[in-house]
Amino acid sequence: MSEFVKLRVLPYNKEIVVEKNKNLLQTLISSGINIYASCGGRGTCGKCKIKILEGKYTTESSQFISEEEKRQGIVLACKTLPVSDIIVELLSQLNFIEEIQQHSFLHKEFWQKDLKEYIIKNFDFSPLVKLLHLNLPKPSIDDHVADVDRMINYISQKEKINVVFDNIELITSLPELLRKNNWVVDTVLNEEFCVNEETSVYKINCISKVEKLYAIAVDIGTTTVVVALVDVLNSEVLGVYSAINQQIVYGSDVITRIIHSEQENGLKELNQKVVYTINELINLAIKNANIQQKDIYAATVSGNTTMIHLFLNLPAKYIRREPYIPVVNRVPPIEAYKTGLMINPLGKIYCLPLVASYIGGDIVGGVVACGIDESQELCVLLDLGTNGEMVVGNKDFLVSAACSCGPAFEGVGIKSGMVATVGAIEDIEIRDEEVLYKVIGDTKPVGICGSGLIDIPAVLYKAGVIDRSGKFIVDNKKFKNRIRENADGEYEFVVVEKEFTLNKQDIVITESDIENILRSKGAIFHGLHTLIKYLNLYLEDIKKIYISGGFGSFIDIKKAQLLGLFPDIEQEKFVVSGNTSLLSAILFLLSSYARKRIYKVQQKMTYIDLSSLPMYMNEYTSALFIPHTDLSLFPNIAKELRR
């Protein structure tokens, strides 16, 4: 029989009852207290440090806990079991939700102020959800068509669409509703889309007094979730909101989360976390827009294959096991109440189609958002996030691949890292002995986002602060006041002193941070280089490289090339595209032509497993240097460095 003790958590001053044999990380997370552990609680990341203030406990020794920290009562939550009533203090917390600027995610090249005009010009305007005001002909002794047929016939003739009506609850209430309202009713229809049909079929999902019609577009990223609230009638985005994906408490990457999903209740926990994250964003959006949940009749969801599986509560374990097969690639429309999303219960959830275990709807939609599927020229889509996905092709062929680059570009696992939002350093320069930086929101800095993290190793290398492997040159006289050894015994560079930051903490970059960034950039570049070689093409053949991802709008192409993240080709070939996953979810929502193109891309796209190619594994380590061990791949950068 389980024994229980009381746990008090500071600074929340929250008291909970816990099992003696359950580690504190699991206890805190299950109690709604989010504490970050990138390894999923296996004790290999050292991120879930807490301080024991009072009480008895047992804990395992760890390389991540110094002797000084031991004396202070600091332990890893995942390796600590309470023995008596206990008081703990959290040393770090995850702040989840915030409103973001639309331009941060929807780049100007693909985004116009008048959304409807943009969609009509480039696609067509035919939303997944329609609102019809019906004035039905009244039945008579000479017109004795049944109520359901009367509605279907009237809508089909007026709108020139195929309609089905199979909701038994609505059908049961229909006779009284029609007669009470003198045959004048409002009807909401949701598309039951089938790619092989020329004409879409719409399903009647609501009959009542309806004046407003909203939908949400969702981008489920491994690290960040973004929700856009869309006024369907006016084709207007009312707000864009982001949050850290709360699944992150179970691990920072998809593999760690899949492993957690295989544990008892693990899949349910991951599903609940992502649904909760989306619902929190929905609540924030409707509060700011002063609307009601019942007025949201559709949601389009874009994300990688694992995120969609976890969102739908589908088993994901075979995604990581050879031969790496997902449960489903095309998900039919689902009633909202079956997913837990807090919109109109009869509203529909639409997921963008998937290609393979590591190529999801975010990439399929991104190809359409960038127009690669209709391009005559050879193009590349590079999605920079926790997972590095890429597509090479044009209107004739599309080949995709993926590589695990980790969450460093999202700011996760980086000492002063953060997502691209207000307070994040997005651009860094070093001139003489001065560090110059630009902050999103034009405020005091709090940390460094992805674009800034790409800048840092490049500018530090160019300034002679680090060598090509990312190690600090500690006898650098110019920056001797900024290079120091931290409490963990590793060197770090002070980017911004604490007196100039918003949170009064130094913003730094450590050697292990740089190592993580180099691993991420190496995976992306080497993945693209391998895929191009596999297709018997050359980097010089590429005419356009579209850069997508949440922080894509801030990337300095030149610095990314110096780092070795991007190929050393003409800068004008790069198009920074922002969050094409979110944009494609909006397009999927509002345009039938976009939907058909997205399904067509999913059908024609080929997936290549890079890990199965000997050339990929054999040459990966060459990409872990700045910019690369083979400088012939970076001729222009090599010339510049020799000057």
Question: Per-residue pLDDT tens for 238-280?
Answer: 888 888 898 988 988 899 999 999 999 999 999 999 999 999 9
416-435 per-position pLDDT tens digit:
988 777 788 999 999 988 99
Establish if 492 belongs to a structural domain: no
Same domain (yes/no): 136, 16: no
Q: Assess whether pLDDT exceeds 50 at residue 209.
A: yes
- CATH number, domain of 15, equals 3.10.20.30
* pLDDT tens per residue across span 564-590: 999 999 999 999 888 899 999 999 999
Asked if the structure places residue 584 within a domain, the reply is: no
- Residues 218 and 204 both lie in one domain: no
Instruction: Judge whether 634 lies within some domain.
Output: no
* CATH code of 257's domain: 3.30.420.480
pLDDT, position 232: 94
Q: What is the pLDDT of residue 103?
A: 35
At residue 121, the pLDDT reads 82
Statement: residue 639 has pLDDT above 90:
no
Which of 164, 190, 208 is a domain's end point? 208
For residue 106, pLDDT over 50 is answered with: no
Please give the angle made by the CA atoms of 112, 359 and 339, to the nearest 5 degrees. 80
Same domain, 188 and 292: no
The pLDDT of residue 255 is 92
Residues 270 and 197 in one domain: no
Q: Do 224 and 169 share a domain, yes or no? A: no
Q: State the Cα–Cα distance between residues 549 and 87, nearest whole angstrom.
A: 41
Q: Which residue has the higher pLDDT, 196 or 284?
A: 284
Tell me the one-letter amino acid at 297: Y
Q: Are residues 280 and 310 in the same domain?
A: yes
DSSP-derived secondary structure for 441-488: TSS---EE-HHHHHHHHHHHHHTTSB-TTS-B-TT-STTTTTEEE-TT
Give 487's pLDDT tier (boundaries 50, 70, 90).
confident
Asked, as a colleague might, if the bond just before 627 is cis with ω within 30 of 0, I would say yes
Query: For residue 112, what pLDDT band results from cuts at 50, 70 and 90?
Result: very low
- Determine which of 99-103, 166-170, 491-495, 521-525 has the lowest per-residue pLDDT on average: 99-103
Which position has the higher pLDDT, 46 or 130? 130
* Contact predicate 97/281, CB 8 Å: yes
Give the count of domains, the chain: 3
Confidence tier at 388 by pLDDT (50, 70, 90): confident
The position carrying tokens 């650098």 is 476
Structural domain including 64 reads 4-90
Of the pLDDT bands very low, low, confident and very high (cuts 50, 70, 90), residue 554 is: confident
Are 204 and 143 in the same domain? Answer: yes
Pairing of the two strands 162-164 and 214-220: unpaired
Q: What kind and span of H or E run contains 335?
A: strand 334-335
pLDDT 10s digits, 436-482? 999 988 889 999 988 899 999 999 999 999 999 999 999 888 898 99
565 inside domain: no
* pLDDT, averaged across the chain: 88
Domain final position from 173, 190, 208: 208
The C-alpha atoms of residue 178 and residue 60 are separated, in whole angstroms, by: 69
- The arithmetic mean of pLDDT across residues 171-185, rounded, is 94
Residue 107: pLDDT band (50, 70, 90) is very low
Percent of the chain residues topping a pLDDT of 90: 60
> Which pLDDT band holds residue 101 (cuts at 50, 70, 90)?
very low
> SS3 sequence, 387-439?
EEEEEEECCCCEEEEEEECCCHHHCCCCCCECCCCCCEEEEEEEECCEEEEEE
Same domain, 154 and 190: yes
Residue 421 belongs to some domain of the structure:
no
Segment 146-171 mean pLDDT: 92
Confidence of residue 196 (pLDDT cuts 50, 70, 90): low
Neighbouring CB atoms inside 10 A of 374's CB total 11
Domain shared by 226 and 311, yes or no: yes
**Res 199: pLDDT:** 60
pLDDT over 80 at 102, yes or no:
no
* Domain membership flag for residue 82: yes
Reported as a single tens digit per residue, the pLDDT across 588-627 is 999 999 999 999 999 999 999 998 888 887 788 899 999 9
The residue among 351, 382, 413 that closes a domain is 351
- 96 or 312, which is more confident: 312
Q: How many CB atoms lie within 10 A of CB 68?
A: 9
Q: Domain containing 181 — which CATH number?
A: 3.10.20.880
How confident is the model over 312-342, as pLDDT tens digits?
Answer: 999 999 999 999 999 999 999 999 999 999 9
The answer, yes or no, to whether residue 110 has pLDDT greater than 60, is no
Q: Is residue 515 situated within a structural domain? A: no
- Of all residues in the chain, the percent with pLDDT exceeding 70 is 94
Parallel, antiparallel or unpaired: strands 80-82 and 57-59: antiparallel
Residues 160 and 239 in one domain: no
User: Does residue 408 fall inside a structural domain?
Assistant: no
- Give the global pTM: 0.87
Mean pLDDT of the 202-209 span? 84
Residues 51, 131, single domain; the answer is: no
Residue 95, pLDDT score: 53
Residues 222 and 258 occupy one common structural domain: yes
What's the pLDDT score for residue 528?
Answer: 95
